[in-house]
Amino acid sequence: MSLDVDAGHRTRTLPSNQRRHARPPGPRRLLSWLDLRAAPYFFVSPYFVLFAIFGIFPLIFTLWVSLHDWQLAGDKTFIGLENYTELLADDKFWNSVVNTVGIFVIATVPQLVLALLLASALNKRLRGRLVLRLSVLAPLITSVVAVAVVFTQLYGRDYGLVNWLLGLFGVEPIHWQNAAWTSWIAIATMVDWRWTGYNAIIYLAAMQTIPKDLYEAAAIDGASPRRQFWGITVPLLKPTIIFTVIVSTIGGFTLFAEPVMFGSGLMTGGTTGQFQTVAMFIVKEGFRDFQYGYAAAAAWILFLLILISALINFALVRGIGRSR
């Protein structure tokens, strides 16, 4: 053992043989290390485990099924990309894609615009503001089946309220389920009635995070309320708008319950498929015709369509407010 003297302080130095055989960190130090390094991964691991089980695995398994002639009973024959080539040449599939995109555009654009205006109105000082904010969520908690049944009656040809109102202006009764564009409008109103309030509350929550100083400074500079809305509110809501656009894109392309109930529970979407969506096409092929491989291929193409549409909408929404 030796003593080293440095600036009047004595330091104890262990021999080299004792330093090599020093005692490893104790249980406390190990637990402390696990708490700092491993605990965060442990706490977030349930999400990734559930996502792997219910998200990644079904996606990969669906891709595997789409490469087979997979039916309810019998052999599963590997056919490669044959399901995809047949699907891309299927007029019924592309008809369902056109219906889905048409309903999505008619429903989503007015829905998000109305939600933004409604949120702006609810953000002002109003009497009974809390009641009004809660009331916009009432359609969301209503059963989608009940909504579809009520709207189907409203759009009835002979005794529907909508045709009665149009008749006051001399319009002949419309059979809303017969034509593509009329059925798209009817289904789009169901979607808008149910989800506009939900998006409005999201926009309202984002609006309340905008500093009031910006509006006060703009008012001093002479900016009108409309100019403040387009110059301050909308640009600062861009991340929230992007979120709602992407979520609405996913919901619009996977639309199922409203058109099914509008068509009295049939998966064909009318006599000529005039309002059959891609989701309805997948269910019909998989669970009525038992062509699981064909339905899985349609599901994967739907996934790619959603991804492409979401990227396009993301690029469009990013340009909001740049020219102002």
Read off the pLDDT of residues 95-134 as tens digits, 9 standing for 90 and up: 999 999 999 999 999 999 999 999 988 888 777 777 887 7
Selection from 97, 107, 106 nearest residue 305 by Cα:
97
Q: How confident is the model at residue 3 (pLDDT cuts 50, 70, 90)?
A: very low
Are 226 and 117 within 8 A, CB to CB? no
Q: What SS3 state is found at 157?
A: coil
The arithmetic mean of pLDDT across residues 39-49, rounded, is 83
The answer to whether residues 135 and 250 belong to one domain is yes
Indicate whether 54 belongs to any domain. yes
The arithmetic mean of pLDDT across residues 173-198, rounded, is 90
Indicate whether 190 belongs to any domain. yes
The answer to whether residues 228 and 154 belong to one domain is yes
The answer to whether residues 50 and 139 belong to one domain is no
The answer to whether residues 18 and 47 belong to one domain is yes
Domain limit, last residue, from 38, 66, 94: 66
Are 293 and 70 within 8 A, CB to CB? yes
Selection from 250, 245, 252 nearest residue 106 by Cα:
252
The answer to whether residues 58 and 113 belong to one domain is no
Indicate whether 135 belongs to any domain. yes
What is the pLDDT at residue 322? 57
- For 188-241, what is the HEC assignment? HHHHHHHHHHHHHHHHHHHHCCCCHHHHHHHHHCCCCHHHHHHHHHHHHCHHHH
Read off the pLDDT of residues 264-292 as tens digits, 9 standing for 90 and up: 788 888 888 899 999 999 999 988 888 88
In one-letter notation, the amino acid at residue 66 is: S
Q: What SS3 state is found at 324?
A: coil
Indicate whether 80 belongs to any domain. no
Indicate whether 72 belongs to any domain. no
What is the pLDDT at residue 95? 93
Q: How confident is the model at residue 94 (pLDDT cuts 50, 70, 90)?
A: very high
Q: What is the distance between the alpha carbons of residues 306 and 246, in angstroms, rounded to a whole number?
A: 9
What is the pLDDT at residue 272? 85
Q: What is the DSSP letter of 271?
A: T
Q: How confident is the model at residue 1 (pLDDT cuts 50, 70, 90)?
A: very low
Selection from 95, 68, 58 nearest residue 280 by Cα:
95
Are 310 and 249 within 8 A, CB to CB? yes
Domain limit, last residue, from 21, 37, 66: 66
What is the pLDDT at residue 2? 47
Query: What does R_g of the chain's alpha carbons equal in angstroms?
Result: 30
Q: How confident is the model at residue 12 (pLDDT cuts 50, 70, 90)?
A: low
How far CA 127 is from CA of 8, 81, 123, 150, 320, in Å, comes to 77, 61, 12, 31, 32
Q: What is the distance between the alpha carbons of residues 176 and 171, in angstroms, rounded to a whole number?
A: 13
Q: Is the pLDDT of residue 256 over 80?
A: yes
Q: Is the pLDDT of residue 299 over 50?
A: yes
The answer to whether residues 182 and 44 belong to one domain is no
Q: Range of 153's domain?
A: 85-318
Number of domains observed in the structure of the chain: 2
The answer to whether residues 175 and 260 belong to one domain is yes
**Does residue 134 or residue 78 have the better pLDDT?**
78
- For 80-100, what is the HEC assignment? CCHHHHHHHCCHHHHHHHHHH
Tokens of residue 98, six digits:
């056109």
Give the domain CATH number at 157: 1.10.3720.10
Are 190 and 151 within 8 A, CB to CB? yes
Q: What is the distance between the alpha carbons of residues 63 and 93, in angstroms, rounded to a whole number?
A: 18
Query: 3-state SS of the chain: helix, strand, coil percent to 5?
Result: 70, 5, 25
The answer to whether residues 90 and 30 belong to one domain is no
| Rounded (10°) angle between helices 91-122 and 238-253 | 150
The answer to whether residues 169 and 101 belong to one domain is yes
How far CA 131 is from CA of 64, 139, 195, in Å, comes to 51, 14, 18
How many other CB atoms sit within 10 Å of the CB of residue 221? 9
The answer to whether residues 166 and 99 belong to one domain is yes
The answer to whether residues 174 and 287 belong to one domain is yes
Q: Is the pLDDT of residue 74 over 70?
A: no
**13-17, 25-29, 48-52 — which is least confidently predicted?**
13-17
Q: Is the pLDDT of residue 89 over 60?
A: yes
Are 161 and 154 within 8 A, CB to CB? yes
The arithmetic mean of pLDDT across residues 141-151, rounded, is 84
Q: How confident is the model at residue 7 (pLDDT cuts 50, 70, 90)?
A: very low
Q: What SS3 state is found at 2?
A: strand
Q: How confident is the model at residue 223 (pLDDT cuts 50, 70, 90)?
A: confident
The answer to whether residues 170 and 280 belong to one domain is yes
Q: What is the distance between the alpha carbons of residues 186 and 155, in angstroms, rounded to a whole number?
A: 7
Distance of CA 279 to the CA centre of its chain: 15
Indicate whether 323 belongs to any domain. no
